[in-house]
Chains A and B, each alone.
Chain A
Amino acid sequence: MMAGEHELIAQLLRPTPPASTRLPRRLPLAWLGLLLPLALLMLAEVAVRLAWVAPNLLPAPSDVLVTLQELAQQGLPGHVAASSLRVATGFALGSSLALLLGSVVGLSRVAEALLNPSFQALRAIPSLAWVPLLLLWLGIDEAPKIVLIAIGAFFPVYMGVASGFRDVDRKLVEVARLRGLSRVALARRVLLPAALPAVLTGLRTGLSLAWMFMVAAELIAASQGLGYLLTDGRETSRADIVLAAILLLALLGKLSDSLMATLETRALHWRDSFGGASS
């Protein structure tokens, strides 16, 4: 026993090799970000269990998980699917329109002079201001929700595409001109790849805005979806449902953003940049 103890102390006293000094520093740093949320969750759990706060206002994290499990059996997949479908449709609609109009504006000075001021003016309108109008025009069905999401996704993508095309290095364009490329070929083979970083950034921002506007749209009028769950939770005073929906929104948003980030890294592997396209 004693010998073993001495050995242990000797081991502890022995200077650590330089290679290992870096590892324990890096590991805590990466996990440091989890410290605060975990501590808060623990605090919330303890606070509820010790009855410091009313559980109907702040449900214990464990209760939220239980609620999630219950919801999963009561049509939660349907809610998630409905919301995801809306985001996908709205984003597809808004971003493809933005890609089209953005490239027209980015490619042609005439189109830019003609269209850009109007788009900039429209962009200045807080997008939620469209809601009453959309409800008036399109009723309370799917259409106004999809359109609102599309509006949300449109502008970041439009800005990314238009500025991306406009900022393409003149020097590269000259090389293509020397080869006698047509305008269409120039756009496809030089301008589009050169503008891709800005376009992808726009698409990524557009996607996260699409999630945001989906919630806004569903909060107003919906019978299914995560936004509906939020409203439902509030109306039935079920904070646990609200929190469960928020948690799901965070997860879905992060998931889709990670997918976009992966796509971005793949598509831009040729970029000679510092640190790559991570996060």
Chain B
Amino acid sequence: MLNVHIHRKRFAGRAEPVLGELRLSLAAGEMLTLVGASGCGKSTLLRIVAGLDTEFEGQVLLDGRPQQGLSRDIGYVFQEPRLFPWLTVAENVGFDVGQGYDAARVSALLAEVGLTGYERSLPKQLSGGQAQRVAIARALYTRPRLLLLDEPFSAVDAFTRIKLQDLIIELARAHGSSLLLVTHDVEEAVLLSDRVLVLEALPGRIARELVVDGAPRPRLRSAPRLAALRTEVLNALHAVHAL
């Protein structure tokens, strides 16, 4: 479904490219995780896929068609909730081109993320975890086929994180969305994804690809296979000097 081929990406005023030669592809319904050291260009890669960053050499193909700019087929959950503070929760979820929103769909999405009855609340009344749930509901509003998640759970506490991880898996399956996740959390990577890509830094390139096969969903956090995979990912990260 998604094919990314990046030749090079460099930021203005920086000699070294942040991303080097890099290819990745994502099948429909697949969940792919990118791990790597800070500054290896993971987030940049996500921004390129989303169309937020168009200054790069390479190509992003969605269903074989080159992406030019932003696509409504792609939902984005940022590290921070990024809710509009002046809009209610429902207005945030239904924020879209044109006036008004599909109230029934918004309520259904809020119910799915466990926030029934919060439609008229303001973002300032939400906890960090609740705000991130709203952000997830908002990302799903346009029925995206690809969901990009940029360290979406790094700012919430450990218990909330576990709940949100389960939630995102459930939602991605229910909505049939593919998932491209950037994370620092190795456990999260092996728990959520079908494949884990380990990136090396400067320039960002794929150093290793690990397939999390055979593990049925929902996966048990305590499964021995996951522990072994986690060690493998950690070793791969060591190899690229990310740790």
Chain A residues with CB under 8 Å of chain B are 171-172, 174-182, 185, 189-190, 193-194, 196, 270-272
Contacts and interface: CB of A to CB of B under 8 A. Distances in A.
A270 B52 contact: no
Interface string B65-99: 00000101010101010101111000000011100
Contact of A179 (B86, B97, B122, B123): B97
B142 interface: yes
Q: Is the interface of B mostly helix, strand, loop or mixed?
A: loop
B50 A271 contact: no
Given A179-B95, A194-B86, A271-B124, 11 more contacts: A172-B84, A174-B52, A175-B78, A175-B95, A178-B70, A178-B74, A179-B72, A180-B72, A182-B97, A270-B85, A270-B87
A178 B85 contact: no
Given A178-B52, A193-B84, A270 B124 contact: yes
Given A185-B97, A271-B124, A272-B124, A175 B86 contact: no
Q: Is the interface of A mostly helix, strand, loop or mixed?
A: helix
Given A171-B80, A271-B124, A180 B86 contact: no
A190 B36 CA distance: 34
A272 B96 CA distance: 24
Contact of B86 (A178, A185, A196): A196
B29 to A, nearest CB: 22
A106 to B, nearest CB: 18
A264 to B, nearest CB: 13
A179 B78 contact: no
B50 A193 contact: no
Q: Which of A175, A180, A271 has the most B CB atoms < 10 Å from its CB?
A: A175
B52 A177 contact: yes
Contacts of B74: 178
Contact of B70 (A180, A185, A194): A180
B173 to A, nearest CB: 23
A176 B76 CA distance: 11
Interface in B43-63: 50-52
Given A270-B122, A270-B124, A193 B72 contact: no
